[in-house]
Copies of this chain bind each other. A is one copy, B any other.
Amino acid sequence: MEVLVKSTIMPCPLLVSSMLERGANLFSDVAIISIRPDGFRHSYTYRDLRRRSRQLAAALQRAGIAQGDRVATLMWNEHEHLEAYFGVPSVGAVLHTLNLRLHPDDLAYIVNHAQDRFLIVDDVLLEVFEQIRPRVQFERVFVVDHGCGALPAGCESYDAFLAESIVEPSDADLAEDDAAAMCYTSGTTGRPKGVLYSHRAIALHSLAISLPDQLNLSCHDTLLPIVPMFHVNAWGLPYAATMNGSKQVLPGRNLRSKTLLDLLQNERVTVAGGVPSIWLAVLHALETDPSRWNLTQGLRLLVGGSAAPESMFRRFDKLGVHVIQAWGMTETTPVATACKLTPYMHGWTEDDRYAQRAKHGLPLPFIEARAVDDQGETHKDGKTAGELQVRGPWIAGSYYGLDQADKWTADGWFRTGDVATIDTEGFVKIVDRLKDLIKSGGEWISSVDLENALVAHQAVKEAAVIAVAHPKWQERPLAVIVLKDGSDVDASELRAFLGERFGRWQLPDAFVFVSELPHTSTGKLLKSQLRQDFNDWRWERS
């Protein structure tokens, strides 16, 4: 073999610290706003963020944190959390954001599984910490003081820890595939599984989501990440915003829709990210009192986490607010697809455009997506569903300390467990979770499609559709409905309403009205619970 010609480009790793350096060097006076638990508006700049991140880094080094060590956070969206986002990886340690909504059993499990050494915790979250404290062994615990409680025994002040550090952190010799951050999945089945994000994955993800055809993030933006920073790095938005020098507004713990609308208005937010339930509540508040808020023209709302109903796009458009759907999961850093119309789609009918916008969109550059059916065939007809599989430089290739090879195909693609169609334009549409599909008489019925159609009915607040065993058809759909306060509707009206869009065989065979639905810690419908609740259901006719 002859010698191959390597490039003459300098070896220069993609590191998280480069993004903070850019923000702090080029946008030093741009503001980062944090809303305290008591509503106080704290404001500082990228220059301050760098100073304090470096203080944290130096303090961690001095306290004995070495490359590869895990430092956990139990925090809301606030500047101290952002300091950890950059300070922890800068010394080669791994930021482990704990999802405060997890059950204490799961929280204790992941802290022990990740072998977290230190914890940084908000004082308002000390009660969560106390629930797991007997079962975990943090060497040191630093409390962010919002004046909401005395420092418990055995804990230290975060600010005092930073103040100790009078020297600059020593340079860490980092490789771009070193872990910078880690998250655990909040799956409804099995134990949480850990994903370790590399510096490189976070850097590439920041570039890709910022592109004009994706989330279009720039220094002209003011970003409000409502999606928690303890949930897949708030979709990577804080990293991208820092790289781009965007103003950031970190909303803390108060996520009531009117508070969020006040923030959107007062901080002149241009782009915000949250799950559908957040935006549906915001939409309701806006529609109820349309003249109350004066939002920024061209405001974009990023929606992800679960499928947004098409009606949400239409209703926000009427208010001059543009909703953009993206898709991803813990294993995809997390954004893998984003949905923006391509040029010729602007000539489509309004209905076709909305149907397209309610999809999950195109894979980002360097990400590949395919939908593989039971026969191992891939389809691009927009109709034939298959398991969504993805591959690319910010997709997980394994779980931390866990052998679960069945989540990857023999040819190296990650099996998402989502069922999707891909249309001729390449747009991905998540039809359902593999385990939530209803298999009726050899055909698949999408529970998600039925749920999204149901919530478009004016009387319906929330809807879940689950598969229930059926003697003839194997499975049939059952709809579980929560009505809006003061609303009334019966099963036959809902059947007729769905009948306008679905075939008869796809309609739920029964409608059950309840006062609330069970949810996971991250606000997703807990269908496993519902399936259990309706395990003994008997169909009236067979």
Which of B21, B178, B216, B366 touches A4 (beta carbons < 8 Å)? B178
Instruction: Compute how far the CA of A399 lies from the CA of B363 in the bound complex, rounded to whole angstroms.
Output: 36
Name the interface residues of A385-414: CB closer than 8 Å to any CB of B. Answer: 391-400, 412, 414
Q: Select the stretch in A5-13, A455-463, A521-529 that faces chain B.
A: A5-13
**A121, CB-defined interface residue at 8 Å:** no
Q: Which of B6, B10, B220, B391 contacts A10 (CB 8 A)?
A: B391
Selected from B5, B25, B27, the residue in CB contact (under 8 A) with A178 is B5
State A25–B423 Cα separation when bound (angstroms): 11
* Count of residues in A whose CB is under 8 Å from the partner chain: 77
| Chain A, 201-233, CB within 8 A of any chain B CB | 201, 203-204, 206-208, 210-213, 216-220
Residues of B close to A179: CB separation below 8 A: 5-8
1/0 per residue, CB under 8 A from B, across A10-38: the answer is 11111000110110011100000000000
Stretch at the interface among A190-198, A257-265, A293-301, A490-498: A190-198
Q: In the complex, which residues of chain B have a beta carbon less than 8 angstroms from the beta carbon of A11?
A: 177, 397
A40 to chain B, nearest CB (A): 25
- Give the docked Cα–Cα distance between A92 and B400 (Å): 34
Q: Determine how close the nearest CB of chain B comes to the CB of A143; give it in whole angstroms.
A: 26
Cross-chain contact A8 with B397 (CB below 8 angstroms): yes
Distance in angstroms from A292 CB to nearest chain B CB is 27
Contacts A12-B392, A197-B9, A198-B9; A203 near B4 (Cβ below 8 A): no
User: Quick check: B10 and A412 within 8 Å, CB to CB?
Assistant: yes
Q: What residues of chain B lie closer than 8 Å to A365, measured between beta carbons?
A: 18-19, 22, 206-207, 243-244
A200 interfacial contact with B, CB 8 Å: yes
CA distance A3 to B179 in the complex (A): 12
Taking CB atoms, residues of chain B closer than 8 Å to A414 are 10
Contact of A196 among B5, B67, B208, B219 (CB under 8 A): B5
A212 proximity list for chain B (CB < 8 A): 210-212, 216-218, 220, 244
A10: nearest chain-B partner, CB-CB: B397
Asked if A291 lies at the interface with its beta carbon under 8 angstroms from chain B, I say no
Whether A25 lies near B426 (C-beta < 8 A) is yes
Q: Does A245 contact B (CB under 8 A)?
A: yes
Is A168 an interface residue, CB under 8 A from the partner?
no
Cβ of A110 within 8 Å of any chain B Cβ, yes or no, is: no
Binding site for B on A (CB under 8 A): 2-14, 18-19, 21-22, 25-27, 66-68, 70, 92, 94, 177-180, 194-201, 203-204, 206-208, 210-213, 216-220, 243-245, 333, 342-343, 362-363, 365-366, 368, 391-400, 412, 414, 425-426
Given contacts A7-B177, A7-B196, 14 further A-B pairs with CB under 8 A are A4-B92, A5-B196, A8-B400, A9-B200, A9-B394, A10-B397, A12-B393, A12-B395, A19-B365, A26-B362, A26-B425, A212-B218, A213-B220, A244-B365
29 CB contacts below 8 A, A to B, read: A5-B68, A5-B178, A5-B196, A6-B196, A7-B178, A7-B201, A8-B179, A8-B397, A8-B399, A9-B177, A9-B196, A9-B197, A9-B200, A9-B201, A9-B333, A10-B393, A10-B395, A12-B392, A12-B393, A12-B395, A22-B363, A25-B426, A26-B342, A26-B363, A26-B426, A207-B211, A210-B212, A212-B244, A245-B342
